[in-house]
Structure 1
Amino acid sequence: MFGKEEIGPFANPQQKLNIQHVEKSSSPMPRRVPGTAAERARRNINAKLANPLAGYSYEELRRQGINFAVQHKMGDEEDIRAFAIGAVLAQMPEKFTSVPDLKPEEAEILQKEFTHRWSQPWTMYLVIILCSLSAAVQGMDETVVNGAQIFYKYQFGIGGGDSRSNWLVGLVNASPYLCCAVIGCWLTVPFNAWFGRRGTIFITCCFSAIACLWQGFVNTWWHMFIARFALGFGIGPKSATVPIYAAETAPPAIRGALVMQWQMWTAFGIMFGYAADLAFYEVPDPAGIVGLNWRLMMASAMTPAIMVCCFVFTCPESPRWYMSRKRYDKAYESMCSLRFHKIQAARDLFYMHTLLEAENGMKLGQNKILEMITVPRNRRALIASELVMFLQQFCGVNVIAYYSSEIFLEATNQRNALTASLGWGLINWLFAIPAVYTIDTFGRRNLLLTTFPLMSLSMFFTGFSFWIPQETHSSARLACIALGTYFFGIVYSVGEGPVPFTYSAEAYPLYIRSYGMALATATTWLFNFILGVTWPSLRSAFTPQGAFSWYAAWIIVGWWLILMLMPETKGKTLEELDQVFSVSTSFHARYGLRQIPYFFSRYILRKNVRPEVLYEREDACAMPPDAGYNTV
């Protein structure tokens, strides 16, 4: 929204700001890197993690590859040769044409990684299907309750609209996310350590399938609460494990796109949940069964979970998980099944090994969780990550996802409400597809700064649509409510939908990234729970007009916070991200505010002004006093 502020020159060259990371030995008077010795050590570690093979010669890399293969008994002479070449390629994969030992057919295979990046072995496609279906499980688990609650809340005696009923409806609907926030997400690390990635996916899908079936047999609100709380054991660890599994098995050329598809296929599952609600709407009750239609809605979410359980073990386990367990032979076997050629497998496995060795060698003498707060660079990443995770929920998206049928019921009948909900789910999914392109084209920060005002307008429009009289203009009332929610779904799906998980995964340094992601995941589920449990009471107390305006106001607050507190991370290396998050919070906030007059002059007044650059790659001048590592 504010132009290419990251790449253009300054309007005033005297304002240049450059953050230094390393001392230049060629300088006659080397400059000291800002911060304490421990902080400089952390930055050196991060630089090493960015490319642990940087600086090695061709022969040194060959020797390392051969020693690795021999030490871990990686097969015959062909495999040893693959590791010798793979170690060289691991340093700079794109420079394969300069490796003299490659055969023509091997060079052709490596070339296809860049020219035909979606041409992969069938096992890689199987992994893609597994990850996509697991995401669909997630979405369907979340939204089948949307239509079912229209029926079961009256059967359970909590549909009266009084304060107690509103809170109980919210508590039942939001109970899986309470479990995710307080227990489920924190089981990710032990589950992955004990059972591996595939085992964790299998177990969590078993939890999902059993809990969904269980929900179809309950007869009281508290029994439904328990069943849905148990569903959180399936949702929480799976939401963190599947993206990790995708990242660890995918080749570098498609890794980002594959991890990004978690959001897209979760949106597909959300849509499919609405479709199930509509499909079972008119199922009649046979003798002895009350509410068969909503019971089938709730139980239908077990179908994709069972499908995942049936074929998850036909996919290879994560090579990185095998290596963390010192099972190098199994890691190589797994990687070979995921790549066309052994040289590709050896290259990726050797690089993975050196990265793990670098991570294991990090001995800073501090608690990593504590360093998320005490180290200024990490704290700034924490603030930005938690901000976008909080706003992903408090923009109000899951009010629509979980209660759209209830919302539309205030303007139409039950069947039309379910149909309108399906339309919202379809839009949410379709517009998640271009996000794979837009997130790396426009940048994370610019996407949010552009879409947040549109999201706020959509929320205001939806809320104000409830002032249209139902008695005389019912069709116009439904059309405007649908238009507001649909437009919100469009702009959310390309902005605040995919950005938070992507941003959180790249903002933290590698040595604390797993802790940062665990916190980010728990944060989004905690506020998801708060959103779900409070909406019925919020709508009753504020009226729909006030309730939607409440979230529209939070979006406006969020826009200002993003402008001042969220640095851009698009297209930057790990070392460059250290530079980005080295800028003090107060300095970045002032920079963000200065972008407003620039945007007004450039795009409203059409003046030929040049954007300010906050950081550059070159170390051209000294750093201002307030941009150092030791400031808040």
Structure 2
Amino acid sequence: MGRDQEHDDVASELLAGASYHHEEPDQGQELADSPLSEHISNEVQHFAKTYGLIRKLDVLQKAATLIQGDTKPADVLNITHREVVATQDETARKWRQPIAMYLTVVITALGAMGQGWAQTSMNGANLYFPTAFGIDSDSSRDNFIVGLINSGIYLSCGLLGAWLVAPLNARLGRRGAVFGATTISLLSNIGGALSQNWQQLLAFRLVLGCALGVISSTLNVYVAECAPAAIRGAIGVSWQCFCAFGIFIGFVANVAVYDYGPNTWRLQLAAPFLSTIPLLLLVYACPESPFWHIKHGSRYDLAFLSLARLRNTELQAAKELYQTYFQRHTSGADHKPNTPYLQTLTQLFTIPRIRRATLAAYTVMISQQLCGINIISFYSSTIFADANFSNHGALLASVAFGLVNFLGAFPAVWTMDTLGRRSLLLLTLPVMALTMLAAGLSFSIPSDSPAHFTLLAATIYLFCAEYSPGMGPVPAAYSAEVFPLSHREIGMSSAVAVTNLWASALSLTFPALLSFLGSQGAFTLYAALNVVAFVLVFLFVPETRLKTLDELDVVFSVSTRRFVRYQVMEYMPWWTRRYVLRQGKVELSPLEMEEEYSVLEQEDDEAS
């Protein structure tokens, strides 16, 4: 038997998990004496020698025994009591993690705060900088310039920043890419505050957008690669939670400096640099992503050092490392040359399984922009001011909006894996449409009436409360999981680019839209766009709740045409009869998936 075939046989045994069984040794016979265990032990030795882990041979052998899935931790030869407890705690006390693991969450939170703060700093500055630069008339030219400055961070992120993620990560590593982009972010925030004309301000906002694009995409991938499987979903929501917290802090900062005269907007634009300093200090205190070490050079020795810091015991680190090795070995990933960047990008649209994931990810990202949340984030102070709030009152109303946005994100930690991604969107989008419409109708009430203030503020806050647990966290989490491992980085980057390009388009056109349609017309339009988003999600976004990566391959094996037909011809009539007509015994025929599905070798026999 050749060495490669021997590897494949052992890989099949190990990856079979709980479904794999072998004969129990005779009573009194040591586990290591069984032929199968000896076979695996030889492979572990080969792995340890090949990748410079021979000093960790004992812990690797214990990890290989656990991977088989039919041995209790307490029965593993030479296992310690601490290792047994840590293994049991993976499910019983899954939030008991080492400091290094939580430090990765902290730097992710700081990066998210910086992005949210950078968005809302412009919200307050909108009340001042147009006058400072003489672009405060209601002309189409001035409206375009103000919109361009507001959309600058989105525009540059979508056109350049998101596409720099893969090459910068390959060259600098996850931590290096974050450190470099954060340094640029710090300088851009200060530079924007010191701008002497609108052209300089626009230039600094464009540079800031590129930096934020690299930070957001890299940190989302980084924390997902560092987190253990049991809490990866909940930790994935942390980006949206702390981005919302950054938005809230930004609103608070806007109020804190609102009365500082003509330089108020400069202080508001400079303030986000405060979140970049601790991020710069802490990023290299965290270990590099273990999967980055494996992807770039198959450095399993360095990956083990990272995992050992991120897990409670070396046994857990060894188990995760060894599983990854065999998964990559059986798929041939360890032996394939890196695919050129442009070819990998092209495969997002040419390989059927990946193309369907791309369509679903882009749909949720675009829907996030269609709902209108970023317009409120950027222009809420302007909207409240147009409703005859004072500048101070408008900023205070925006603070409350930021607080609702932050607190509303927490339910997603529990509902993301219970209700599901698709279900959360379909449940919240109709309510978001109604609250946006109600906000628009509030402008029909005379502005001097208390009802005008009450209805406008209440409906905007209700809209935000529905957005925060649904359309807020779902798009990023969904886009990060639907792509196969081979295309996850570039897939996520492209999805971030799409959402930022749409955000820039909407932000760029909103001042002119507000001038043309008025506040009532603009809100009514976005109410309609929420309905459009609902339809898009219903037709093109499959559910991914509680699915493994292999199961997601099967989910996306169904052609888009067949999925849409099922939603319209089967699911919609069933839902109507069950919940509208109250016919309780109606059954829904399941959507049948393809079997024996191969991700990269699939022929596109069906319309996709």
Q: Same fold by TM (over 0.5)?
A: yes
Give runs of aligned pairs for residues 398-417 of structure 1, distance below 5 A.
Answer: 398-411=374-387, 412-417=389-394
Quote the residue 1:190 is aligned against: 167
**Scaled by the length of structure 1, what TM-score is found?**
0.85
Q: Deviations over 1:375-422 (max 9, x none)?
A: 333222221111111111111110001110000101211001001111
Aligned counterpart in structure 2 of residue 69 of structure 1, from 48, 71, 75:
48
1:58 is displaced (CA, Å) by 4.3
Map 1:39-188 to 2 at 5 A.
58-74=37-53, 76=55, 79-90=56-67, 92=69, 96=73, 99-188=76-165
Greater Cα shift, 596-605 or 118-127: 596-605
Query: Are residues 102 and 173 of structure 1, via their aligned partners in 2, closer, same or farther at CA, if it must alter by over 3 Å?
Result: same
- 1:92 Cα deviation from its structure 2 partner: 4.4
Q: Which amino acid aligns with 1:72?
A: Y
DSSP-derived class of the 2:128 partner: helix
Q: How does 1:189-208 map to 2 (within 5 A)?
A: 189-208=166-185
- Residue type matched to 2:58 in 1? R
Look up the match of 2:244. 267
Does structure 1 residue 214 correspond to structure 2 residue 191? Answer: yes
Q: State yes or no: 1:377 paired with 2:353.
A: yes
Deviates more, 1:250-259 or 1:183-192: 250-259
AA matched with 1:183: L
User: More deviation in 345-354 or 172-181?
Assistant: 345-354
Partner Cα distance (2:338, 2:162) in 1: 27
- 1:612 CA drift (Å): 1.7
2:271 maps to a residue whose letter is S
1:591 corresponding residue in structure 2 = 566
Deviation of 1:101 (Å): 4.5
Tell me the residue number matched to 1:488: 463
Give the superposition deviation at 1:563.
1.6
Please list every run of 5 or more consecutive structure 2 residues that lacks an aligned counterpart in the other structure.
Answer: 1-7, 22-35, 597-602
Aligned residue number for residue 21 of structure 1: none
Deviation at 1:81, TM superposition (A): 0.5
Could you tell me how far apart the structure 1 residues matched to 2:555 and 2:275 are?
Answer: 41
- SS in structure 2 of the partner of residue 219 of structure 1: coil
Partner of 2:285: 314
Asked if residue 600 in structure 1 is aligned to residue 576 in structure 2, the reply is yes
Alignment of 1:428-443 (within 5 A): 428-443=405-420
1:575 is matched by which residue type in structure 2? D
User: Which position in structure 2 is the counterpart of 1:234?
Assistant: 211
Q: Which AA in structure 2 matches 1:463?
A: G
CA–CA separation in structure 2 for the residues paired with 1:383 and 1:95 = 43
Aligned to 1:328: 300
- CA distance in structure 2 between the aligned counterparts of 1:91 and 1:280, rounded to whole angstroms: 61
Go from structure 1 to structure 2 and tell me whether the alpha carbon gap of 1:434 and 1:67 turns closer, same or farther (over 3 Å shift): same
Answer yes or no: is the 8 Å Cα contact 1:582–1:629 preserved in 2.
no
Moved more, 249-258 or 365-374: 365-374
Contact conserved, 1:146 with 1:405, CA < 8 A, in 2? yes
Q: CA deviation at 1:326?
A: 4.0
Letter in structure 1 aligned against 2:166: V
Count, aligned residues: 569
1:351 aligns with 2:323: yes
Q: Is the 8 A contact 1:191 1:200 kept in 2?
A: yes
1:395 to 341, 366, 371: 371
Could you tell me which residue of structure 2 aligns to residue 499 of structure 1? 474
> What residue in structure 2 maps to residue 530 of structure 1?
505
Residues 560-579 of structure 1: per-residue CA shift (max 9 Å, x gap):
22222221111122332222
1:544 partnered with 2:519: yes
> Given the two structures, how large is their TM-score scaled by the length of structure 2?
0.88
Out of 286, 290, 300, the position equivalent to 2:271 is 300
The answer to whether structure 1 residue 465 and structure 2 residue 442 are counterparts is yes
Mean CA deviation greater in 104-113 or 450-459: 104-113
Cα contact 1:178–1:229 (8 A) shared by 2 = yes
**C-alpha distance in 2 between matches for 1:274 and 1:316:** 33
| Structure 1 residue 486: Cα displacement | 0.8
- Unaligned ranges ≥5, structure 1: 1-44, 285-290, 621-626
Of residues 119-128 and 397-406 in structure 1, the stretch that sits farther from structure 2 once superposed is 119-128
Contact 1:180–1:525 (CA<8 Å) still a contact in 2? yes
Query: Alignment partner of 1:129: what SS?
Result: helix
Q: Are the aligned partners of 1:243 and 1:262 in contact in 2 as well (CA < 8 Å)?
A: yes
Matches within 5 A, 1:509-588: 509-588=484-563
Report the equivalent of 1:22: none
Contact in 1 for aligned 2:554/2:594 (Cα 8 Å): no
Give secondary structure in 1 for the equivalent of 2:126: helix
Distance across 2 between alignment mates of 1:437 and 1:585: 30
* 2:124 and 2:251 in contact (8 A); partners too: yes
Higher RCO (CA-CA < 8 Å; seq separation 6+): 1
Displacement after TM superposition at 1:302 (Å): 0.1
Percentage identity across paired residues of the two chains: 38
Aligned residue for 2:235? 258
1:371 and 1:226 map into 2 onto residues whose CA distance is 33
Q: 1:90: how far off? A: 4.0
Q: Distance in 1 between matches of 2:466 and 2:174?
A: 33
Q: Is the 8 A contact 2:555 2:593 kept in 1?
A: no
CA displacement at 1:190 relative to structure 2 = 1.4
Larger mean CA deviation between 606-615 and 298-307 belongs to 606-615
Aligned partner of residue 196 in structure 1, secondary structure: helix
Q: CA deviation at 1:266?
A: 0.7
Which has the larger displacement, 561-570 or 240-249?
561-570
Closer, same or farther: CA 611–61 of 1 in aligned 2, 3 Å: farther
Distance 1:97 1:143 in 2: 53
Asked if the contact 2:433/2:530 (under 8 Å) is kept, the reply is yes
Displacement of 1:205 in angstroms is: 1.1
Is 1:339 matched up with 2:311?
yes
Task: Kindly state the Cα deviation for residue 509 of structure 1 after the two structures are TM-superposed.
Answer: 2.5
Contact 2:233 2:417 in 1 (8 A): no
Aligned-pair CA distance for 1:53: 6.4
- Could you say if the C-alpha distance between residues 371 and 201 of structure 1 is closer, same or farther in structure 2, counting changes exceeding 3 Å? closer
Offset of residue 95 of structure 1: 5.6
The 3 A distance-change label for structure 1 pair 464 and 597 is: same
Instruction: Give the CA deviation at 1:425.
Output: 0.7
